[in-house]
Amino acid sequence: MMRVAKFPKPRPIGFLTICTAVLAFITGVTRKEHVLILAGAVFALCLAYCFLAVLLTSTLHKKKAAMLSVRISPEKVTAGRNGTLRLSRRTRFFQMPAVLVRYRLELATKDGKKIEHIFDGGFFKKAAAAFPAACRGAYYGAYDSLVIRDVFGFFRHELRLPQGRAERLLVLPLPSETRPEPRLLASGSERRNETSLRKTDELLEQRPYVPGDDPRRINWKLYSHAGELFVRQEEREPPPHSQFIMIIDTEADDALYTAEQGAAAVDWLCSAALSVLLEKTACGIEALIGFSGSGLKSGRAGELPALLARPYRTAPGDGSRLPSLSPLAGPRSVLVMALARSAGIRGGSLHDFISKRQAAQAVQILFFYRNEDQKNHAEASAILFGRIPGVEARAEPSGV
């Protein structure tokens, strides 16, 4: 059901004008100043017209607004670019003199980043208009609004238009220009379900060397000329390194980050993680990705931005847990990207994650900081977690 306010609401300038009209009228009557009485009457008539005009326009368009159907297309855009809101069909709204009808888009992520954009009257005629999508994230919006107001800004009435609770827009991260240099602590299983053997009649046909190739098969003569490593095309392709796991801990300590700073820090974590993962996948390494409140997901190069658009800033103690590694057997190389924290290691989701892993799963934790206070806490966290067997931890500066 569309929820509608009963009457237009006065804006701050409307309150000020009402007070001015009342004060002018009362002063004019008290002091018998006809000019003040006339000014008060003019202000009152103007206010009355604006109120009634906005109210009448809202009443006339209530049913028509309820039938508006909009969608965001495409549903995935890169951060910093524009999204497009589309109407199912062109429409027209009757506007009384000095009254404006506008469409308001309202989207927000789970950690408070917002997209709010008001489209002018041309949106209804063109049935499509662009809006900026600056920050990475998965955006939801249960309601949009049809905004009806007078040109002076005295009164405003909004007809709320339900849009559902599903994800409406995915703003993809860009790879960070500055990124960490993690070291994979274990290569993991190197096996292929079926043999891949590529043959060719051209003995000189080569393909680039991929980590996992037998070094004895490298064409060193070609390397001496080209400066790059190649193996013959008919050799067996190397097995994938499918054991690399990237975990993004989105917990932002309230003592070190405000809500806005925490959300921005998590955005950078995702951009830095994207840079690392793109490099690893380009080398033939397959990765599993997880973050606070999610399970592990397999990500190929083309799927990485969409996966890394969904993590959002979480607060300590809100119940969000890091994905469990228990279903995964065998040695694993795990990289955890986390923010500086002021608390110790006990009782947090990161400690629970570390303590429940298998002994063969080597973990590297990078704690990121942006100022001296955060640096001290990041280094202290790295020392504490680094004492856990099988864990390597260090503090790193972030790009925000």
**Structural domain includes residue 183:** no
CA distances, 377 to each of 23, 369, 374, 389 (Å): 59, 8, 5, 21
Total structural domains within the chain: 4
**Structural domain includes residue 185:** no
Residues 247 and 376 both lie in one domain: yes
Which domain range does residue 17 map to? 9-53
Rg (CA), the chain: 30
Sign of torsion over alpha carbons 136, 141, 146, 151: negative
* Single pTM value for the model: 0.79
Strand order in the sheet with 70-72: 70-72, 81-87, 128-133
Residues 138 and 103 both lie in one domain: yes
pLDDT in tens, the chain (400 residues): 444 567 888 999 999 999 999 999 899 888 888 888 898 899 999 999 999 999 999 998 888 888 889 999 999 999 999 999 999 888 888 888 999 999 999 999 999 999 999 999 889 999 999 999 999 999 999 999 999 999 999 999 999 999 988 999 999 999 988 777 776 654 444 444 444 444 444 444 677 766 666 666 677 666 556 667 777 665 444 444 446 889 999 999 888 999 999 999 999 999 999 998 888 887 777 788 999 988 888 877 788 999 999 999 998 878 788 988 877 666 678 899 999 988 766 667 888 888 888 777 788 999 999 999 999 999 999 999 989 888 999 999 987 6
- Which residues make beta-bridge pairs with 148? 101, 157
**Structural domain includes residue 187:** no
Residues 276 and 383 both lie in one domain: yes
Query: Helices 12-31 and 34-60 sit at what angle, rounded to 10 degrees?
Result: 150
How many helices (H) and strands (E) in the chain? 9, 19
**Structural domain includes residue 150:** yes
Extract the runs of DSSP E, i.e. beta strands, from the chain: 9-10, 70-72, 76-78, 81-87, 99-108, 114-119, 128-133, 137-140, 143-150, 155-162, 167-172, 206-208, 230-232, 241-248, 285-291, 297-299, 332-339, 361-369, 391-397
**Structural domain includes residue 16:** yes
Residues 347 and 292 both lie in one domain: yes
- Which residues make Cβ contacts (< 8 Å) with residue 273, sequence separation at least 6? 246, 248, 289, 308, 337
